[in-house]
Amino acid sequence: MLIEIDKLKLVLRGRQILAGVNMHMQRGEICGLLGPNGAGKSTTLSVLTGLREATSGSVLVLGMDARSQREEIHRQIGVLPEQAGFYDWMSAPDYLRWFASLYGRRLTAADTGQHLARVGLDVKNNEPIGTYSRGMRQRLGLARALLNSPKLLVLDEPTNGLDPRGRREIHDVLLGLSQQGDVGILLCTHLLDDVDRLCNRIGILHQGKTIVEGNLAELLATLQAGRRYRLHLLSPPRDAALPPGVRLIAKRGEWWHLDIGAVASPDAVWRALLDRGWVIAEIHAEGGGLEDLYLKLTMTEVAA
Amino acid sequence: MSPISLIARKESGELLKSGRGLAWLLALSVILSVLSLLLVSNTELSLLDNAQVVYMVMGTITALGALLAVVLGSDAIAGEKERGSLVPLLLAPLSTSDIVLGKMGGQVVAWGVTYLLSLPYLWAVGSSGQNLFEAIAYLALLGMPVVLGFGFYALGLSARFGSVRAALITALITLMLLASPLLLGPGLRQSAIGKVFDAVNPFSAAVNSFDSVVIDSQPLSMQLGRFLVTLIWLVMTLWFARRSVKIAEI
């Protein structure tokens, strides 16, 4: 287990900030930590990384106690905090070299070049970090988090400030890491698209409590939050039978509204429909899926 | 290289390589240049004797060193927090002690740079007098604990307040209060309150020691009490800084 958080509670200055957080994560998983503003996501991360001490509950990271063994944990994890600050007068290679030395690592110029290239950061050698755009700083933060070849990567809003291409590149880096098998990634984000693309596990926090935790596909299937699409057909289909798991929600003229369920991949569904003689001109996503699940759960909690 | 020296290296790099650090050093040089020029002119016109001039430069160097230490100390924790660079540091495999001691190491380097920078000015105003060597030695011996003490005090405030502005204002007010012997007239200093203030004030201890060594040519044995006051100041501020960091739970 990379992360085992059970019944975590935190009281700060008489105020209950966390009121029962549970989270479990295995090697190779990408776990998304979701929740509305003020739900306690960043506080959970600060307890997880040993920066704050829990009032009660158990927090184990890589099998070690998050607070008392934090130095050893820090040696084995990489963290990209929400506010990824740097020393603006340093250049990126100098900064990475200096930061690596805190881990007892000596980086050559080729090593720093490799680390920067891995996150798609192309910089001139002596350009100070102070001149970087937000996206470049975000990439540098990710390069910093990866410096020690971590077993667990904790990322707070990693694609903040990145353009669509940049986001896709960071997604690819993270997916690549996860596919190597032994790195777990905990992603704290507001961007459900990031979670949808990257995560196989999620935890949703609301008012300092975990309201749901588990495998994303299973949760979507259990809570019947499929994915909805609107298809524009050029002619009525020869065979109107739908592939298994796909449900017709409504039909308005040439527009067919489908729920493709949680388990099937959209590409496989379109292929099956084309095979059935569907002449599809346009496909539009209509929400559903994770977004619906998220709204449903957080709204239910608010109503409760 | 130990974590403490790595942090200290970064802190010194900030002073010697960043635009802000270089601006401070440039300002320091300009102030000392103008002051030395004025004082040398006064000596040439026989308005002040050489020992008096050396004493004034020593006091000014100590005050400027303390001012720089206060600025660096106020920024040490709160500045990093405000710029978001403290959390990555806390998430590296370092203890809080390593970070704080490294930052204190940076203060030592800053004082070292200020001291080295001031030596040519001290030589320029004091080379024609008798006590230049004593002036250089006593500036190191008593100036260092006073200046570092101010730096550690500001660092403690920086951790407690978590705000550069609040720490800087508080530290500057304290510095101005303790450095008032440089500004107060001799009459006030001879009053009962002035005497008590002089006896416990590390800044007074250093300045009075400069006075008695450079102007009155008194021996080291006469300075031990004053040296002790500056050392107590250093130890107290060191304790305050470490305690503040612990309380602030950074």
Q: Which residue has the higher pLDDT, A170 or A107?
A: A107
Q: Do A85 and B10 touch (CB under 8 A)?
A: no
B90 touching A, CB under 8 A?
yes
pLDDT surpasses 60 at A302: no
Mean pLDDT, to the nearest integer, of A162-180?
84
- The 10 Å Cβ neighbour count of residue A153 is 23
Asked whether B226 and B205 are in contact (CB, 8 A), the reply is: yes
Contact B6 A102 (CB under 8 A): yes
More confident residue, A280 or B152: B152
- Give the pLDDT confidence of A129-165 residue by residue, as tens digits: 999 988 889 899 999 999 999 999 999 988 877 888 8
**Any chain A CB within 8 A of the CB of B183?**
no
Name residue A88's amino acid.
Answer: D
pLDDT at B250 over 80: no
CATH of domain A225-303: 3.30.70
pLDDT at residue B167, as a whole number: 96
pLDDT at B184 over 80: no
Q: Mean pLDDT throughout A71-78?
A: 94
Q: B81: nearest CA in chain A? A: A85
Fold entry, domain A3-220: Rossmann fold (3.40.50)
d(CA A106, CA B6): 12
pLDDT at B22 over 60: yes
Bridge partners of A227, per DSSP, are: A288
Task: Name the minimum distance, in Å, from the CA of B32 to any CA of chain A.
Answer: 27
pLDDT for the residue B181: 61
Establish, for the pair of chains A and B, how many residue pairs have beta carbons separated by less than 8 Å: 63
Beta strands in chain A (DSSP E): 3-12, 15-25, 30-34, 56-61, 64-65, 77-80, 152-156, 184-188, 201-206, 209-215, 227-233, 247-252, 255-259, 280-288
Among candidates A49, A85, A101 on the partner chain, residue whose Cβ is nearest the Cβ of B83: A85
pLDDT of residue A225: 61
From the list B244, B245, B209, the residue with the least C-alpha distance to B226 is: B209
pLDDT on residue B199? 83
Which chain A residues are within 8 Å of B91, Cβ to Cβ? 49, 51, 74, 79, 81
A90 vs B: CB within 8 A:
yes
The predicted pLDDT at position A288 comes to: 62
Distance from CA of B25 to the nearest CA of A (A): 16
Which of B17, B83, B94 is opposite residue A102, by nearest beta carbon?
A: B94
pLDDT tens for residues A214-269? 888 777 766 656 677 888 988 888 777 888 888 888 888 888 888 887 666 788 88
Closest Cβ–Cβ partner in A79, A83, A101 for B91: A79
Q: Do B88 and A84 touch (CB under 8 A)?
A: yes
Please name the member of A85, A88, A103 whose beta carbon is closest to the beta carbon of B88. Answer: A85
CA nearest to B85 within chain A? A85
pLDDT bin (cut points 50, 70, 90) of residue B230 is: very high
Under a CB-based contact definition with an 8 Å cutoff, are residues A118 and A146 in contact? yes
Reported as a single tens digit per residue, the pLDDT across A79-127 is 999 888 999 999 999 999 999 999 999 999 999 999 999 888 888 778 9
Q: What residues does each domain of chain B span?
A: 3-248
DSSP-derived pairing of the beta strands A152-156 and A77-80: parallel
pLDDT at A301 over 70: no
Average of per-residue pLDDT across A51-64: 94
For residues B108-134, average pLDDT: 90
Q: Does pLDDT of B116 surpass 90?
A: yes
pLDDT above 70 covers a percentage of chain A that reads: 94
Locate A44 and state its tokens: 């959970």
For B93, the closest of A83, A102, A141 (CB atoms) is: A102
Which chain B residues are closer than 8 Å to A87 by Cβ?
A: 10, 14, 18, 85
Instruction: Tell me the pLDDT tens digit for each residue of B129-182.
Output: 778 899 999 999 999 999 999 999 999 999 999 999 999 999 999 999 888 765
Q: Best of A43, A49, A97, A102 to disrupt the B interface by mutation (most B CBs within 10 Å)? A: A102
Dump the DSSP string for A113-140. Answer: HHHHHHTT----TT-BGGG--HHHHHHH
- Through-space distance between the first and last CA atoms of chain A, rounded to whole angstroms: 33
B93 touches chain A (CB under 8 A): yes
Q: Is A245 left (phi over 0), alpha (psi -120 to 50) or beta?
A: left
Is the C-alpha dihedral spanning B18, B19, B22, B23 positive or negative? negative
Sequence letter at residue B138: Y
Measured in angstroms, the CA of A230 and the nearest CA of chain B are apart by 44
Chain B contact present for A131, CB below 8 A: no
Q: What mean pLDDT value characterizes chain B? A: 90
Is A64 an 8 Å CB contact of chain B? no
Kind of pairing between the strands at A280-288 and A227-233: antiparallel
User: What is the Cα–Cα distance from A55 to A62, expressed in whole angstroms?
Assistant: 20
Q: If you measure CA to CA, which chain B residue comes closest to A95?
A: B10
Task: Please report, as a single letter, which amino acid is at residue A149.
Answer: S
pLDDT for res A128? 92
CB contact under 8 A, B6 and A89: no
Interface test mutation site (partner A, options B89, B91, B164, max chain A beta carbons within 10 A): B91
Whether pLDDT at A300 is above 70: no
**Which residues of chain B lie closer than 8 angstroms to A102, CB-CB?**
3, 6, 92-94
The predicted structure's pLDDT at residue B48: 76
d(CA A98, CA B249): 25
Min Cα distance B98 → chain A (Å) is 11
User: Percent of chain B at pLDDT above 70?
Assistant: 97
* Interface contact flag, B80 A85, Cβ < 8 Å: yes
Question: Residue A209 carries which side chain, given as an amino acid letter?
Answer: K
